[in-house]
Structures are given as structure tokens and as C-alpha cells.
Amino acid sequence: MNVADNLSKPPVKKMNWDWVGVAPFFIFAIVFLFLPSLSIFYRSFQANDGGFTFDNIIALFTVRDIINAYKTSLQISLITAVGGAVFGFLLAYAVVLGGLPRGIRTFMSTFSGVASNFAGVPLAFAFIATMGNAGLVTRWIEGIFNISTRELGFSIYNMWGLSIVYMYFQFPLMVLIMAPALDGLRREWREAAENLGGNTYHYWRYVAFPILMPSLLGTMILLFGNAFGAYATAYAFSGSFINLVTILIGAQIQGDVLYNPGLGNALALGMIFIMGLSMAGYVWMQRRAARWMR
Amino acid sequence: MAFLEINNVSKKFGATEAVSDFNLQIEKGELVSFLGPSGCGKTTTLRMVAGFEMPTDGRIVMDGKDITDMPANQRDVGMVFQSYALFPNMTVAGNIGFGLKIMKKSAEETNQRTKEMLDLINMPEYAHRYPYQLSGGQQQRVALARALALRPDVLLLDEPLSALDAKIRVSLRAEIRDIQRKLGITAIYVTHDQEEALSLSDRVVVMNAGKMEQVGTPFQIYNFPETNFVASFVGTLNTAEAEVVDPARGLISMDGVQFVSADDLNGRKKGDKVRMSVRPERFNFADDQKKDNLLDCTIENITFLGSVVRIQVKIGKTVFNMDTFNNPFLELPKIGDNGQVTCSKEAVLVISH
């Protein structure tokens, strides 16, 4: 074979196997995210007899219970996202920049790691057993002050009570994410701000918060989604006392009384839409907040 | 009265004394370098002037006003940090204008001053870039402009070039010196790089273990080190143990080889142990027989360093470094050759401690 023969042959393209590394992720995303989403979309337009209908979608905007469920879910998600973010941020600040002993930081990190994953039935039971109608703390308060909390109108089985329960896993998540971000604030930035005549307010207003904003926004959207999609904790805690979208979906798909899978899928589609909107808002804010980042 | 006075300042961190009895008077428009190894207290002293650390003892007086207890944000000093410390969320213009914004200057004045500063550092077209879009040298120039924007009385520079590569360091240090001279601003420059300190400064303070070893002009520091530490830290130095032979004539002996020194040996007696030193560039090959010290030697090694050729010569039992300018037409000796080197008696330093 001479040189001319070699030149006349097209170069052999080498197979690129790099994509194999990310294939499991894409397979996972297709099987457990895209296909279920497609299925939800398709079934949202299905009546109980299998025929095509717009009734389920129309119900989202016309049935009062459903509108209220979305309102309550959004309220709880917003309250616990903002509350968890503020409380978690302050806690992370105290641990990282508050000059506390190193041991406290280790303890807080471990606690946050556990607490952020402590949800569902065990969490609901823990609150019922401590602050429920016959809970340990409730009885203790009643015994000490000789009062009846129920007669005073105190109950944790409402939106605010559920918000407190959710906060138990929301703020530790904030601590876990914000602690490294606060660690990333360099001492020189504070000193430079001070050297240029700034005080603590100026530093936080113009330097630290804008630098932390992408992390704050990211965590808040995570907390929002965390609360918005929570089902087991709410169901175990309140049964169907609190009208949440997730509980309504459960009732429509599994319930004996309200069985209407098409409506359940439409409710889920509504949740996907709201999360999509939140994500779009997040991306827009993130772009503005992080335009200084590489 | 000096413009900036650092009087008997000490700083303790727990039981550790980081700075001990530091005394320095700096005149207006003067650039003084603090030179020393890591942990010698130079940055701590600078931070005390900036107000980021409070002295344990002593006072700091600027323009006749005691600023020792004044908060950092009320002192009229600008600081340039080793790691630039630019605010990453602000553009170049935002960084430079930050102090003016805090001072509630009008937008017009802020823009005008920012423009002036950008012109000063030759970066007028970079106003809208973010720090991550700049090279290290450009970031440090912006940091310098930011520190100067408020027209501070004193400029503090904390190892501003140590994160940059060698070529940029050389050009930027010249730029810093030019700007400092142009503005006539009093400046303190912290560095562990002797070349930087010697080339930039009006005066150099050499520090070691929290104490001032010597204060002087670069010329004095290099040519007439007062302590063994200064002699060994600044520049390359040959040192050896020697013995006083004749104090009146400045005669000392190293391994039986006699050297004449111009240093004052009064107060020493014959047989006293001393430490002698000679800078490598003070040795010459014996083309001048009239030099005070004419010494037999053997060539041990030759290293080519670019503009300089370093030759190791064995005098008696001790190997000395000898530097000579690189000259392509000069015939260098060969390893193992025997010859003679000379040095003046002024080149032979006898260091007291």
C-alpha cells in the first residue's frame, strides 16, 4: 500500500464513548421524569371512561376546593421557604461567622444532615406526640398552667401547624447549603468595604448579600419545591384536615370516595406548571443575580 | 514631626508577640517597605495602621492626630490587598466608585473620579468588565485605583504583587512607584521580596520575629547590613566564622586565610570569634593586584544565571560564591583551575550580631 492509497481513503471516525458516562443519568431522567410527565399530561385529558375531556383542566380553575388546595399549598410552601431561608440563614451565619466554638458547627452540620431528611410519618408522629392534642408538651403546659389549650383555641392541625412541621426539615436544608456559601465570603471583602468607609450595613447590602444571592435564590426555590411536593408528612400529620394539592391528588388517585384519576393527573399537571413557572422565575432572577459569575 | 508615626507599637495574640516595640516615623510622600520572611509581623503592623488590628501597646499618629483607637472605616488610608479583594459582584467602575458611593458623593463626581482613576491605571476601556474578566495584574491595578479613589492620606500595600507572575510583577511595581510619586502619597509596602523592596522604596524596614532589624535606604540595607539576619536575608551573602588577628589593622583570619576588613574592630581583642561576610559580586578575579585582599582559590563550580555567572571558589576550606556579569567574550575559568580572587577591605563585613 502506498501513500496515495492512504490519502484516498476517508479518515476512520473514532467512536466517542464519553457519553456512556452520563447515559445512566439520562435514562433515569427519561424513565422517571419525562415519561411520567408525559403520562400525566396525557391522562389529564382523560375522562373516567377513557374518553378525551377538558373537564379535568376546567375543574382546576372552577372547583372551589381545588382552588383552595392550590392556595393552601402555595401559602405553606412560600411561608416555609421564606421562613426556612431566614431562620436557616441566621443559624448558618451564627455557626460560620458568629465566632461559636468549632464543636457547635460540627454538631449543627450533623443535626442538619439528619433533620433535613427527617420527614414523612416519623416527623408527623414526632409532632403529634409532642404538640398534638394529647402530646407530651401540650399536656405538660396544661398541667403546669392549669389550662386547656383546646379551649384556648390552640391546635397544630392547621396551616400554621403544618408549616412548623415543615420548617423542621426546611431550615436544616438551608443551613447545609448556606454554610459553605458563607464560608466562601472572604475576610478581605469585608475589610476592603471597611477600608473604603463602609460599615456592616454597607458590606451586607452591597457586597455580601449580592454575592450570596444566587445561593439564596437557589436554596429558596429548593425549599419551595420541597414543601410544595410534600405528601407523606402532611397526610400522616393531618389526614385530610388540611386541604393540600398533594393530599387531593392522593384522594383522586387512591381514594375510595373521590376516585377520579384524570382529575388527579390534572392536579399534578397544575403542580408541574407552577413548579415550571417558579423555575423560570428562578432562572430569570438567578441570571440577574449571578451575571458577575463566570 | 513626621506625617505618620508608629510609636512603640506591640501586638500580642494570646501569649505570642507578633510585633514587638515597633518604632517608625514616615515623612509625607515617602514610600517605606516592610521586608521580612513570613510571620515576621510586617502584615500585622500594616493592619494596625489600617485599623484592622488594635495594638496591644503603643500609639499610631497620622498627621498629628492619634488614630490608634479609630475604627478602620474612619481612617484616611487606602489599602491594596494581596489577593486583590475586588468585589466580584461589581464591575471595575463599581469597585472603584464603591468608596465614593458610601461617602454619598454625587453620581457625577463619582463617575468623574472613576474615570480619572481608570485613566491613571491605563484601563479606561475596562469600566464595565467584572473582575473575573480581568487578568491578575489588571485586577491589582483596579484594586490600586479603588484604594486611591478616595484620595487617602496614606496608601497601604500588602504584598500586592505576590500573586502575579514575575514579568507582570516587575512592570506593575514600576507602575505603582510612578503613581505613588505622581500623587505624592505616603505609602507603606509590605513584601517578602527583597528585590521589590530595594527597587521601590525610599526606605526599607527589615523585620524578623516581630522586631525591626534595621531601617535604612535600600543602599544602606544592602551594602551595610547591621545584623546577621539582614545580611543573610537581603541579597546573597557568603558568611564564615573567623577570628580576630589584629583589631587595629582590621585583620581577621578564616581557616588560616587572612582577610583585611574596613569594619571597626575596636572593642574586640585578638582571638575573638566573629562572623565575616562578603557579597558575591564584591569578589573579582585577580586583575588588580593592588586590592586589599588577594586570595588563592580553586574553582569548584560554575553556574550560568543569565545576566550573571555564579562561580564557586574555594578559599582555604570554605567555598564562596562569586558573581560576575555575563560577557560572551570573557573566557571563564574551568572547574578545578587554581587562581586568585580579590576583594576590597570595604567588602569584608564583620557583623556584630
Whether the pLDDT of residue B153 is over 50: the answer is yes
Average pLDDT score over residue span A15-25: 88
CA pair distance B235, A29, nearest whole angstrom: 64
CA pair distance B184, A90, nearest whole angstrom: 46
Q: pLDDT-derived band of residue B1, with 50, 70 and 90 as boundaries?
A: confident
Residue pLDDT, tens place only, A229-274 = 999 999 998 887 888 999 999 988 887 677 888 999 999 999 999 9
- The H or E element spanning position B340 is strand B338-343
pLDDT at A134: 85
Residue pLDDT, tens place only, A27-83 = 999 999 999 999 999 999 998 888 899 999 999 999 999 999 999 999 999 999 999
Q: Chain A: nearest CA to B194, how far in angstroms?
A: 25
pLDDT at A1: 46
* Nearest CB to B99 within list A191, A197, A207: A197
Per-chain mean pLDDT for chain A: 89
Q: Does B73 contact A at CB distance below 8 Å? A: yes
Q: Does B97 contact A at CB distance below 8 Å? A: no
**Is B85 in Cβ contact with A189 (below 8 Å)?**
yes
Which residue has better confidence, A14 or B179?
Answer: B179
**First vs last C-alpha separation in chain B:** 32
CA pair distance B48, B59, nearest whole angstrom: 10
Give the CA dihedral B194, B196, B200, B206, nearest 10 degrees: -30
The residue type at B97: G
Whether the pLDDT of residue A6 is over 60: the answer is no
Whether the pLDDT of residue B291 is over 70: the answer is yes
Residue pLDDT, tens place only, B6-19 = 999 999 999 999 99
pLDDT at A7: 55
pLDDT at A81: 95
Q: pLDDT-derived band of residue B226, with 50, 70 and 90 as boundaries?
A: confident
Choose the mutation target among B46, B73, B105, B129 for the interface with A, i.e. most A CBs under 10 Å: B73
User: Which residues of chain B does A207 touch, with a Cβ-Cβ cutoff of 8 Å?
Assistant: 87, 89
Determine phi and psi for B44, rounding to 5 degrees: -60, -40
Q: Chain A: nearest CA to B285, how far in angstroms?
A: 52
User: Which residues neighbour A205 within 8 Å (Cβ) at sequence distance 6 or greater?
Assistant: none
pLDDT at B163: 85
Residue pLDDT, tens place only, B72-125 = 999 999 999 999 999 999 999 999 999 999 999 999 999 999 999 999 999 999
Q: pLDDT-derived band of residue A9, with 50, 70 and 90 as boundaries?
A: low
Q: Does B130 contact A at CB distance below 8 Å? A: yes
Q: Where are the domains of chain A?
A: 64-292
Residue pLDDT, tens place only, A117-139 = 888 888 999 999 998 888 899 89
Q: Does B250 contact A at CB distance below 8 Å? A: no
CA pair distance A266, A59, nearest whole angstrom: 9
* Nearest CB to A194 within list B73, B146, B150: B73
Q: pLDDT-derived band of residue A195, with 50, 70 and 90 as boundaries?
A: very high
Q: Is B280 helix (H, G, I), strand (E, B) or coil?
A: helix
Average pLDDT score over residue span B329-346: 89
Q: Chain A: nearest CA to B150, how far in angstroms?
A: 8
CA pair distance B170, B193, nearest whole angstrom: 11
Residue pLDDT, tens place only, A90-115 = 999 999 998 888 889 899 889 999 99
Whether the pLDDT of residue B131 is over 90: the answer is yes
The CB density around residue A33, as the number of other CB atoms within 10 Å, is 10
Closest residue by Cα to residue B46 from B55, A38, B37:
B55
CA pair distance B222, B240, nearest whole angstrom: 18
pLDDT at B227: 86
Average pLDDT score over residue span A216-221: 90
**Is B147 in Cβ contact with A191 (below 8 Å)?**
no
CA pair distance B108, A128, nearest whole angstrom: 62
pLDDT at A2: 53
Q: Chain A: nearest CA to B2, how far in angstroms?
A: 23
User: Which residues of chain B does A194 touch, with a Cβ-Cβ cutoff of 8 Å?
Assistant: 51-52, 71-73
**Is B103 in Cβ contact with A197 (below 8 Å)?**
yes
Chain B nearest-CA residue for A189 = B85
Q: Are B326 and B307 in contact (CB under 8 A)?
A: yes
* Nearest CB to B102 within list A191, A196, A294: A196
The residue type at B172: L
Average pLDDT score over residue span B155-176: 91
Per-chain mean pLDDT for chain B: 92
User: Which of these CATH numbers, 1.10.3720.10, 3.40.50.150, 1.50.40.10, 3.30.420.40, describes A64-292?
Assistant: 1.10.3720.10
Closest residue by Cα to residue B131 from B98, B175, B169:
B98
Residue pLDDT, tens place only, A197-210 = 999 999 999 999 99
Average pLDDT score over residue span A146-169: 87
User: Which residues of chain B does A208 touch, with a Cβ-Cβ cutoff of 8 Å?
Assistant: none
Whether the pLDDT of residue A8 is over 80: the answer is no
* Nearest CB to B81 within list A192, A198, A211: A192
Q: Does A202 contact B at CB distance below 8 Å? A: yes
Whether the pLDDT of residue B266 is over 80: the answer is no
Chain-centroid distance, C-alpha B89: 34
Percent of chain B whose predicted confidence (pLDDT) is above 70: 98
Percent of chain A whose predicted confidence (pLDDT) is above 70: 95
Residue pLDDT, tens place only, B230-261 = 988 998 889 899 999 998 889 999 988 999 99
Q: Does A191 contact B at CB distance below 8 Å? A: yes
